[in-house]
Every structure is written in structure tokens, then in C-alpha cells.
Amino acid sequence: MSPSKDVSLEVFPYLRVYKDGTIERYAGTEVSPRTPAPAAYEDSWASLQWLVAHVNGGIEEWLEDYADFERVFLAGDSAGANIAHQFALRMKDFPNMKRLQGIAIHPYFWGKEPIGEEANESLKKSMVDNWWMFVCPSNKGCDDPYINPFVKGAPSLKGLASESVLVFVAEKDILCERGKLYYEKLVKSGWKGKAEIVETKGEDHVFHIFNPDCENAHLLIKRWAAFINGA
């Protein structure tokens, strides 16, 4: 990449955008090994694969094909957890859905004003701010309801269609405080379901993807499977 090209935007530490539209990637180009779905949730995994493949068809189409399932799991890590949350909010309008469980792994919730340890991590805070505005520019900024489910005007957590939710957070993750807040707000919202939260000490955001063979990753998967088997 020519150093003489004019830079439009720096999205540290992942990429640089040039004014001619080209993008130079610094990180995030690694490919994680594909992890097969545990046998404990093969049926739900197949359903999720169908959902991803047909997401452009809309949630209504998906619900009409799968509303008769005995159980449906919505699971996702990072931004995928946000998507699962949004789907669960919309599913309240489909009474034929029998049982819905949600699993949020290191959810990518955020907000304009720092909370907890975020106030002591100004560099990381500004980085996450910039990532969001690059990926999803909005006049609401980091208080857009898609990334801040606690902001005024966001749908009430009370309306979540899931009858149970398991939230995973990682101690060193800058998003950890938001995951904890999501759990706390959900429990206090008047929602009728059951929520659980698991914090992994000494780990950072989506560590299980970057190091799937570590002990903590195995423990996360086991806890995930136990939640499904006990749901």
C-alpha cells in the first residue's frame, strides 16, 4: 500500500480506509478453525444455519417454517449476541413459538457514556466508539438501540420472548460491564424468564474463538451444553 495515499479513516487496530475507497487491513484476517456443533444441540444448530442462510427473507418467514419446534435456541457471540437479542424481542409477536432460549456470549452492547471500568479505559473506549461508527454509522451514535438496549426509546427488555437466557462475559473484555448490565436490567425489567450469568476470569473478548483448545474455552462450551440440556 502506497504511503502517499490520503487516509480517510483509521479504525485502530483493524484497518485503515483511504480516500479512494481502498482498505488496508492490519488485523482480523486470521481464520479460526471450524468448530463442529456439539451433539447436545445438533437440531438447534441446523436451525441456526438455516436462519443465517435465509436472514434476508426476514424473521417472519423463519418463524412460519419453525414455529412448531418444541425448542428453539438463539445463540451468538459478540455482535451475534446483539442480533439474537433483537430477534428475541420481535418473537414476542408470534404466540405459536413454544419454547425459546437465548445464549449471549460476550454481547457487543455499548453506550456513549462510560460505565464502571470503562471510565478507566479511555483508549479502549474510543476504539469501540470508532468501530461502531465505522460499521454502523448513525445519527444516534453509540446510543443507537441496536448497540445500546438500555437507552431511552429502546424496546423494553420485559418484552423478550426467551423463557431463559444465559449470558457469558469475560473479565478482561472492555464490553464486560455491558454484559453484566444486560443481565441486571433483564432480571429487574419485569421479564418473566430466568437469567443466568457466567464470568470467565482472566480472559478477553471471544477468547474461545482465538484459543478454542484452552481450558476456559472447554469450560464455556460445557456450560453452554449444560444450559441447553437443562432447558
- Catalytic pick from 2, 8, 78, 138? 78
Ranges of beta strands (E only) in the chain are 7-11, 15-18, 23-25, 72-77, 100-105, 164-170, 194-200
* Best CA proximity match to 43, nearest among 12, 10, 68: 68
> Catalytic residue at 44?
no
Distance CA 40, CA 42 (A): 6
Cβ(174)–Cβ(205) below 8 Å: yes
Q: 3-state class of 58 per DSSP?
A: coil
Cβ(11)–Cβ(131) below 8 Å: yes
* Best CA proximity match to 85, nearest among 74, 96, 71: 74
Distance CA 103, CA 107 (A): 10
DSSP state of 55: G
Residue 194, all three cell numbers: 430466568
CB atoms closer than 10 angstroms to residue 26: 12
Which residue has 412448531 as its cell numbers? Answer: 68
Q: Which residues are catalytic?
A: 78
